[in-house]
Amino acid sequence: MRVITGSARGTKLVTAEGEITRPTSDKVKEAVFSMIQFDIEGRVVLDLFAGSGQMALEALSRGAERAVLVDSSKEAAACIEENAKKTRLAGRCRIVGNTYTSYLRSAAGREKFDLIFLDPPYGSGMLPKALRTIAAEGFAAPGSTLVCETDCDIPPKATRIRKDEDVAAEAILRDVFGGDEELASRYAVLKSPLYGRTRITLLTPRGEEIPDGEESGDGTGAEEA
């Protein structure tokens, strides 16, 4: 696992052993940063389930201004600290060793972010809870992008064959928003492609202007891992 490009390009990153974290694959990470490459420079970043810290560190390497990295695991926090030092980006990082709920509660009304990474454990129910608090407390700055990673239980080939927009829309509502239609109404879906079983959903707070052609709302784009 390495930093792909930028000031820390090629730096090897460490990750916690065992099943404490589930690092985003290099292929998916590269796809994510290809999608958001013009939304990084000078941005303030929140990595709410940071793991190794690779997503926030990649953003910093590419020119983001600063980042807050949150993880409740002591092992993960130690990995983030080591990786921040290896990439020489520690001065632009704030590492928070706490639960995401505790961090959001303590930072409410004091922090706003332009780019938010949300990759909680699959099936934990944490993603909709985090999105609800982010919306309620105004953590997402105007024009911000939220990058959500979820597991898709629909084989990508089946989705491609059916060409069924409703399948993707239902999956996003279920997996990203926990089936909460009111929560879903707070965000606009910009993109939601598949990479194998991994779905990457880009959101922006509803009410913000969305560039022409960017809002899909259906997430039917699929790529085979």
CATH number at residue 142: 3.40.50.150
pLDDT in tens, 111-147: 999 999 999 988 889 999 999 999 999 999 999 999 9
Q: How is residue 57 written in tokens? A: 């560190």
Residues of the chain with pLDDT under 50: 19, 159, 161-163, 208-225
- Confidence at residue 153, expressed as pLDDT on a 0 to 100 scale: 67
71 is a domain residue: yes
Number of domains the chain contains: 1
Specify the amino acid at residue 126: M
20 is a domain residue: no
Indicate if the alpha-carbon torsion angle 25, 202, 189, 102 is positive or negative: positive
- Confidence at residue 161, expressed as pLDDT on a 0 to 100 scale: 45
Instruction: Say if residues 117 and 46 touch (Cβ distance below 8 Å).
Output: yes
5 is a domain residue: no
- Confidence at residue 213, expressed as pLDDT on a 0 to 100 scale: 47
159 is a domain residue: yes
- Confidence at residue 160, expressed as pLDDT on a 0 to 100 scale: 52
Enter the pTM of the model. 0.87
10 is a domain residue: no
DSSP classification of residue 46:
E
- Confidence at residue 17, expressed as pLDDT on a 0 to 100 scale: 72
- Confidence at residue 23, expressed as pLDDT on a 0 to 100 scale: 77
121 is a domain residue: yes
- Confidence at residue 201, expressed as pLDDT on a 0 to 100 scale: 96
Instruction: Say if residues 202 and 184 touch (Cβ distance below 8 Å).
Output: no
102 is a domain residue: yes
